[in-house]
Amino acid sequence: MTKEFSQIEWDASLAADCLQIVRLAILEDLDRGYDWTTVALTPSDGMGQAQVVARETGVIAGLKAAELAAAEFDPALHWSDLCPDGTLVSPGQRVAALSGKVRSLLAAERTILNLIGRLSGIATLARKYVEAVAETQARIYDTRKTTPGWRRMEKYAVRQGGANNHRLGLYDAILIKDNHLAFGAVANARQRFTPAEAVSAARRFLAEGLAASGREMASSALTMIVEVEVDTIDQLRAVLPAGPDIVMLDNMSPRELAQAVAIRNQTAPQIELEASGGVNLETVGAIARTGVDRISVGALTHSARSLDVGLDWSVESPPKFDS
């Protein structure tokens, strides 16, 4: 069975990451001060109820993040999810309800909507890619092309759209790319690595680390994925005997990808192939039909458009102000 990267779910660690983003967002909006427009126009004791509403069709993500944001603005705000993250919603559908002081609701509005809009946009785009390869064996993966500080949040959104997480960072997998191989030439080293030599060196490193570092390193070494990037069929032929877990096929045409799959199937069927580069919604179907196992798509996070969501006062219970 092929090893898999860690997959992000909502947990205490992700909530801690989100809290840092929320606190920065509050600082951006209030700068340790006040929402002066709201203070000028609403009494301090005004109470209200509002709902977060989808303005367009999409996959909702970020409701737990928004709830955390609401509590950070005002612990007395009451938040209720009206659907779970990962739900496909239609225009006008209510996705959350909140109530409390009007001043707190208005101050928190933009941060809440930014979180839900950004993460829902990623989830929605991920769903489109997943649907585009639904009739094949290929699985869609994200990349590290994420917004600085938002990576785990954005990868969570990818999961809510039905796609998969690639490595979370530099710490949880070995991924040998062209610049690792090219370094030898840049540094005037005696010999630069071939992809196969680099895989063998990585395997030796893990084995030596296992022996030198004891049981903790042993556990991670046994499960750490070793992936290598190649950009020619000849490189693929040469690297398969070295036994990487995954070979990334960089910027290959569908014809080349199909050839690579045939070679892998004949010589090393246990090794998975990942297509990367030149992937968009117009090309992903043809790429998937070549028989590759994985397709990594940077656009899931670097090109997703935020989903349009809004905050509306509840018609049944508009804001109330004491006289």
pLDDT digits (tens, 9 = 90+) for 84-121: 999 999 999 999 999 999 999 999 999 999 999 999 99
Encode pLDDT of 223-253 as tens digits.
799 999 999 999 999 999 999 999 999 999 9
Let me know whether 182 and 98 are in one domain: no
Q: Pick the residue with more confidence: 214 or 32?
A: 32
Residue 164 neighbours by CB under 8 Å, 6+ apart: 5, 7, 139, 140, 141, 142, 158, 294
Within a domain: 6: no
Q: Catalytic annotation on 204?
A: no
Let me know whether 120 and 189 are in one domain: no
For residue 94, the cross-strand partners are 53
Residue type at position 116: I
**pLDDT band per the 50, 70, 90 thresholds, residue 323:** very low
Pick the closest to residue 274 from 146, 171, 138 (CA basis). 138
Of the candidates 250, 272, 274, 293, the residue annotated as catalytic is 250
> Residue 178: its pLDDT value, please?
86
In the block, residue with structure tokens 């559908």:
93
Let me know whether 110 and 177 are in one domain: no
Q: Give the number of domains in the chain.
A: 2
**Total Cβ atoms within 10 A of residue 270:** 9
Let me know whether 120 and 177 are in one domain: no
Q: Is the pLDDT of residue 183 over 80?
A: no
What CATH number does the domain containing 45 carry? 3.90.1170.20
Let me know whether 170 and 282 are in one domain: yes
Q: Catalytic annotation on 320?
A: no
Q: What is the end-to-end Cα distance of the chain in Å, rounded?
A: 69
How distant, in Å, are the alpha carbons of 214, 218, 245, 319 from that of 211? 6, 8, 21, 66
**pLDDT band per the 50, 70, 90 thresholds, residue 182:** confident
DSSP string, 255-273: HHHHHHHHHHHHH-TTSEE
Q: Catalytic annotation on 3?
A: no
How distant, in Å, are the alpha carbons of 3, 131, 183, 192 from that of 198? 19, 36, 12, 9
Whole-number average pLDDT of the chain: 92
In the block, residue with structure tokens 């995954």:
246
Within a domain: 28: yes
Within a domain: 182: yes
Q: Pick the residue with more confidence: 204 or 89?
A: 89
Task: Please state, for a pLDDT cut of 90, what percent of the chain lies above it.
Answer: 80
Q: At what angle do helices 102-132 and 12-30 cross, to 10 degrees?
A: 130
Q: Give the separation between CA 52 and CA 105, rounded to whole angstroms.
A: 11
Q: Catalytic annotation on 145?
A: yes
Domain that holds residue 212: 164-296
Let me know whether 16 and 121 are in one domain: yes
Within a domain: 172: yes
Of the candidates 3, 144, 145, 203, the residue annotated as catalytic is 145
Let me know whether 107 and 181 are in one domain: no
Pick the closest to residue 224 from 242, 247, 207, 249 (CA basis). 207
Over residues 211-222, the mean pLDDT reads 59
Of the candidates 85, 109, 142, 229, the residue annotated as catalytic is 229
Encode pLDDT of 264-311 as tens digits.
999 999 999 999 998 999 999 999 999 999 999 999 999 999 999 999
Let me know whether 102 and 196 are in one domain: no
Q: Catalytic annotation on 101?
A: no
Let me know whether 44 and 111 are in one domain: yes
Let me know whether 121 and 187 are in one domain: no
**pLDDT band per the 50, 70, 90 thresholds, residue 215:** low
Q: Give the separation between CA 110 and CA 194, rounded to whole angstroms.
A: 51
Let me know whether 181 and 57 are in one domain: no
- Sheet containing strand 47-54, edge to edge, reads 78-81, 94-101, 47-54, 309-313
Q: Is the pLDDT of residue 207 over 50?
A: yes
DSSP string, 169-197: STTS-EEE-HHHHHHHHHTT-S-PPPHHH
Within a domain: 92: yes
Within a domain: 141: no
Within a domain: 322: no
Let me know whether 193 and 291 are in one domain: yes
Of the candidates 3, 94, 144, 177, the residue annotated as catalytic is 177
Over residues 72-92, the mean pLDDT reads 97
Of the candidates 3, 110, 237, 289, the residue annotated as catalytic is 110
Within a domain: 36: yes
